[in-house]
């Protein structure tokens, strides 16, 4: 079951905190990829299904610079096979002392229509990647080639990334706060609920900026809040 266009569009309009709260209500409390941030703030929200790449620590004899001459090298295979609209998610074991990838591979992903790239390590050529249209998330810039500390070993298996379980097909959503992982099976309902939550939060924020106190408003324990909200929704044409 793949991500529908409708759900994708909904998720592009909601924020990672809203998704986090929605998942919290469902008992999923550990879906935010920790210690990972966008290379460039202010890009459009990233949405896509996870296509994963797993790194293990590099052993010197297995990782000379020549390994990339091998057309089957998993890193290169992943870059050529991650489906358009998906997000390449790399398990770098939170190790950013060497790069997970650089601008050439990220550019190739972008040209291929991939929706984004996430590592819990670091990217090299970070200034160039920041300027690309494709959203990219990492821990920090890292100049050393990935062979220094990483060996790509597996494609599209369940991984950990930033302390979160990521299964192939899970949906990743990224904004300036970072990246949330939505289990594939519930992505449609999460998107729907988040759209509704977002609408209410927009209403609340507007009320707050007009001077309303939080208590009774957020959450709407004062009965008038929901009446006002319904009125507001009508005025907004929602």
For a second copy, the binding residues in 5-24 under the rule CB under 8 A are 15-17, 19-21, 24
Q: Which of 44, 84, 113, 213 binds a second copy (CB under 8 A)?
A: 213
- Which residues is 37 bridged to in the sheet? 138
Question: By the 8 A CB rule, do 161 and 118 touch?
Answer: yes
CB 68 to a second copy: min, Å: 5
- Which residues is 147 bridged to in the sheet? none
Considering CB under 8 A, how many residues would be counted as binding a second copy? Answer: 87
The DSSP secondary-structure symbol of 67 reads G
- Within residues 122-151, the interface with a second copy by CB under 8 A covers 124-127, 140-145, 147-148, 151
CB 232 to a second copy: min, Å: 15
- Within residues 59-98, the interface with a second copy by CB under 8 A covers 59-62, 65-66, 68-69, 71, 76, 79-80, 93, 95, 97
Question: By the 8 A CB rule, do 34 and 163 touch?
Answer: yes
Helix axes 16-25, 187-209, angle to 10 degrees: 120
Find, among 10, 11, 9, 31, the residue nearest to 20 by Cα: 31
Q: Which of 6, 30, 224, 236 binds a second copy (CB under 8 A)?
A: 30
Q: Which of 11, 46, 58, 190 binds a second copy (CB under 8 A)?
A: 58
Strands (E), the chain: 37-38, 46-57, 86-91, 99-101, 116-119, 122-123, 136-138, 150-155, 159-161, 164-166, 171-175, 178-182
Q: Which of 102, 116, 135, 169 binds a second copy (CB under 8 A)?
A: 102
Q: Does 105 participate in binding a second copy (rule CB under 8 A)?
A: yes
CB 234 to a second copy: min, Å: 22
What secondary structure does DSSP assign to 108-175, as a single string? HHHHTT--EEEESSEESSHHHHHHSSS-EEESS---S-GGGTEEEEEESS-EEETTEEE-TT-EEEEE
CB 211 to a second copy: min, Å: 6
CB 92 to a second copy: min, Å: 10
- Within residues 147-206, the interface with a second copy by CB under 8 A covers 147-148, 151, 153-154, 157-160, 163-165, 175-178, 180, 183, 201, 204-205
Tokens 């972008």, residue?
A: 110
Using the minimum distance from each CB to a second copy, give the nearer residue, 108 or 233. Answer: 108
CB 202 to a second copy: min, Å: 10
């Amino acid at each position: 079951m793949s991500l529908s266009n409708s759900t994708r569009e909904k998720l592009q309009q909601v924020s990672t905190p809203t998704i986090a709260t929605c998942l919290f209500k469902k008992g999923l409390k550990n879906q935010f990829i920790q210690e990972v941030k966008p290379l460039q703030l202010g890009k459009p929200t990233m949405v896509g299904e996870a296509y994963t790449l797993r790194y293990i620590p590099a052993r010197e004899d297995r990782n000379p610079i020549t390994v990339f001459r091998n057309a089957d090298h998993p890193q290169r295979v992943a870059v050529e096979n991650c489906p358009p609209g998906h997000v390449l998610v790399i398990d770098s074991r939170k190790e950013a002392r060497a790069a997970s990838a650089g601008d050439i591979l990220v550019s190739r992903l972008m040209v291929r229509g991939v929706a984004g790239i996430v590592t819990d390590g670091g990217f090299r050529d970070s200034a160039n990647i920041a300027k690309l249209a494709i959203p990219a998330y990492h821990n920090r810039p890292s100049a050393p080639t990935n062979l220094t500390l990483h060996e790509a070993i597996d494609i599209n298996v369940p991984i950990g990334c930033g302390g979160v379980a990521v299964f192939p097909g899970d949906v990743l959503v990224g904004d300036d706060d970072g990246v949330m992982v939505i289990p594939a099976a519930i992505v449609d309902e999460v998107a729907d609920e988040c759209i509704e939550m977002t609408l209410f939060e927009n209403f609340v924020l507007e009320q707050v900026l007009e001077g309303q106190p939080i208590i009774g408003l957020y959450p709407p324990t004062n009965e008038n809040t929901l009446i006002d909200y319904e009125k507001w929704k009508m005025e907004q044409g929602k």
